[in-house]
Amino acid sequence: MKKNKLLIKFLFFCIIIFFDNISAQNKLFKYDLEYKSNPQKDSITLKKMVLDSENGKNSVFRTEHDRTSDSLIAITGLGLGRGMTLEDQLYVTKNFTENVTYKSIQTVYRDIYSIKIAERLDWELLPEKSRIANFNVQKAKVNYGGRNWTAWFTSEISIQEGPYIFCGLPGLIIKISDDQNDYNFSLTEIKNGSSKVYYRNKGSELTWEQFKKLSENYYSDPFARMKSMGVPVKKDDGTGNAVSVNMKEETDKLKRIIRENNNPIELNHKVEYK
């Protein structure tokens, strides 16, 4: 995976005021995520991610697509569509008052499930220091999800936050990646957040074992619910016309996509599809 160059876009004349008051305001942190959906291939996927921090007490980390969809649902009741796979979802909420973190999963049918992250982050602070963009940073390591992670954080931003489930260091995480270079999060922008942050609801809470069962059932027949409801499955023929599909071909195609893009962050909870 190529090295990321941070593109910090905010104006530096407001840095001092921003840092002094960051814990008392809603802030928005943008991250680029470069990851390998298939570790056996060299191809890298880029996702634009957003961390909304509510007064340093609650936060939600998600794609820009999900953030827009959440706002639309709250305002109009209608959101954006989502993909057909479950393993590549990176929607996380943190409640620092109750010290609880949830990973959220939404199916193509808009069913929402939450998995409580009980795995503890036992950070190891290292003496190594460096400079990334205009920040003085320090190195730290942690094991999470069966992966070894290296983070660079700055105490110049007094918020113990970071991308995905990562938090708890004495400052903001600027960069974090696993030792296989499958996942690489890099901060790109900091700005004032919205006065109102819209979340998706919690939905039904699942254990990891229940999520595995959900994933296996979905993989065995991705279109089962559509078929049971009598909903016709159609696709664009390339000219703007909706045409019926061969269900076996579409099922086999989706199952192949799921198998070939099965590289979740939580390797210790990876579902082995056959």
pLDDT of residue 13: 31
Residue where the block lists tokens 């959101």: 79
- Are 97 and 57 in contact by the 8 Å Cβ rule? The answer is yes
120 vs 133 pLDDT, higher one: 120
CA separation for the pair 56, 94 (Å, rounded):
10
pLDDT of residue 81: 80
Q: Is the pLDDT of residue 11 over 60?
A: no
213-222 long-range contacts, Cβ below 8 Å, gap at least 24? 214/86, 214/113, 215/86, 215/87, 215/271, 216/271, 216/273, 218/86, 218/107, 219/255, 219/258, 219/271, 219/273, 221/251, 222/84, 222/251, 222/254, 222/255, 222/258
CA separation for the pair 210, 71 (Å, rounded):
29
Tens digits of residue pLDDT in 169-212 = 999 999 999 999 999 999 999 999 988 999 999 999 999 999 99
Q: Which amino acid, one-letter code, is at 164? A: Y
Residue where the block lists tokens 């963009």: 133
Buried b (16+ CB within 10 A) or exposed e, 77-95: eebeebeebbbbbbbbbbe
Tens digits of residue pLDDT in 46-55 = 999 999 999 8
CA separation for the pair 215, 11 (Å, rounded):
44
Q: What does the mean pLDDT of the chain come to?
A: 89
Calculate mean pLDDT across residues 1-22: 41
The Cα diameter of the chain in Å comes to 61
CA distances to 13, 58, 127, 162, 198 from 61, in Å:
27, 10, 29, 9, 12
- Are 35 and 182 in contact by the 8 Å Cβ rule? The answer is yes
CA separation for the pair 18, 154 (Å, rounded):
14
Tens digits of residue pLDDT in 154-163 = 999 989 999 9
Calculate mean pLDDT across residues 11-21: 39
Structure tokens at 34: 């470069």
- Are 176 and 31 in contact by the 8 Å Cβ rule? The answer is no
Q: How confident is the model at residue 234 (pLDDT cuts 50, 70, 90)?
A: confident
Structural domain including 164 reads 1-274
pLDDT of residue 24: 53
Q: How many domains, the chain?
A: 1
- Are 112 and 203 in contact by the 8 Å Cβ rule? The answer is yes
